[in-house]
Structure 1
Amino acid sequence: MKRQLDRRQLLTGFVALGGAAVTAKKAHASLHRPGSDFLHWDNSSEKRLAFRNVHTDERIDARFFGKHGYDERGLAEINHGLRDWRTGDITEVDTDLLNLLVSIRDRLDISPNQPFDLICGYRSPLTNRMLHERRGRHSGVATHSQHLLGKATDIAMPGVPLARLRMAAEFNQQGGVGYYPEDGFIHVDTGPVRSWRG
């Protein structure tokens, strides 16, 4: 025997569905840090990054995101390019960091194949300890550096004043920004939001 739904039952059902949709939306939102909307791009857009390592003159230009999502080959190329150049150690670079670098570059209206000058990407524990001991505790080399986690880069952009590059990075409010004008680079990471001058 078929059961007829009255108006009250229908309304209760719609309210329950609406609540489930809100709960699902909140669950999705909780997966992302507040304010990180710029990191989640239209899936149809391609993202690529180019770097020139200032120590080795090695150059990479890799597409790391395409219409089907993250490109494993491109990510592997970037992981290799941002390796610890002193030891050869490689880690998986944080994709939020890559998206942050794309956002900085796009905010400056710079072509995707214009390379960042890479001063430092991933830093192995051995290199971090050596730099910390050699330069002292006021050197800017943190004991628990975001570089150790694959969440930081020290960069410059040829033709872009360092202060302008810093402003583009700070505008996003997506992590740490260190300004090192005497050394000619900025530090960007995806750790807590903070800024400093070195």
Structure 2
Amino acid sequence: MLQRILESHVGDDSDILLSRRRFIRHLACGTLLTLGSPSIVHAARGKFPSHKSLAFQNTHTGDKLKLTYFEKGRYIQGALREINFVLRDFRTGDVYPIDIELLDQLHDLKLALGINRPFHIISGYRSPYTNAQLHDQSAGVANNSLHMQGRAIDIRLEGFDTRRIRNAALVMRRGGVGYYAESDFVHLDTGKFRTW
């Protein structure tokens, strides 16, 4: 059918070959935009968000935070410090810089899910001491966890099926996506794309 459509609109075989190549190239670009992250889609459309905001609720400390962390083309340092504090190691009180890429990943996930509610934080930053303790208690805790670098977070959303969170994160294909059905949370990190 494609052959007939192309033949009806072009004169010779070389034009058909070029039209097929153009068609395949456009198809490939559309597929990348569909599978890519929202930032790729924004870039392709020439649009970048003018601001990015997130809301958190730490399930262990009760801390709540809702703020804009990116505005007018720059990250807001005071907002990033507040996020670092809310995502601190609640066991030791240690505060560590959270990877901006992780925050952007959460922002894009929020947009993909179409939500405007706080992410409930199960675990943000983990000190090496805390991580070693948890690793001794559970085989599910990596010895060199990205939590210790501020590059991982465990989340859930109140009244929201965690499978939907996992599925949206998988479509984004950014970083690690772990699904813990029994504990009802999703792990996200900024490492290479992988799932478990």
Which TM-score tier does this pair reach, normalised by the shorter chain? 0.7 to 0.9
Q: Is 1:102 aligned to 2:107, yes or no?
A: yes
Which residue identity is paired with 2:185? F
Q: Is 1:160 aligned to 2:148, yes or no?
A: no
Between 162-171 and 39-48, report the one with greater CA deviation: 39-48
- 3-state SS, counterpart of residue 69 of structure 2: strand
* Deviations 1:40-66 (CA, angstroms, capped at 9, x unpaired): 875551111111111111111121100
Which residue identity is paired with 2:150? G
Give the count of matched residue pairs. 157
* Deviations 1:101-160 (CA, angstroms, capped at 9, x unpaired): 01111101112xx1001000000000000111123xx2x110010101100000001122
Q: Are the structure 2 counterparts of residues 157 and 44 from structure 1 closer, same or farther at C-alpha, using a change threshold of 3 Å?
A: closer
- Check whether the contact 2:39–2:48 (CA below 8 A) recurs between aligned residues: no
1:117 to 105, 114, 120: 120
1:126 to 117, 124, 129: 129
Higher helix share: 2
Deviation at 1:177, TM superposition (A): 0.4
Distance 1:36 1:190 in 2: 13
Which segments of 5 or more consecutive residues in structure 2 lack a partner in the other structure?
A: 1-35
Runs of 4 or more above 3 Å deviation: 39-44
CA RMSD of superposed structures (Å): 1.7
Which residue identity is paired with 1:73? G
- Check whether the contact 2:50–2:72 (CA below 8 A) recurs between aligned residues: yes
Distance 1:43 1:73 in 2: 22
Q: TM-score, normalised by structure 2?
A: 0.76
1:65 to 58, 65, 70: 70
Q: TM-score, normalised by structure 1?
A: 0.75
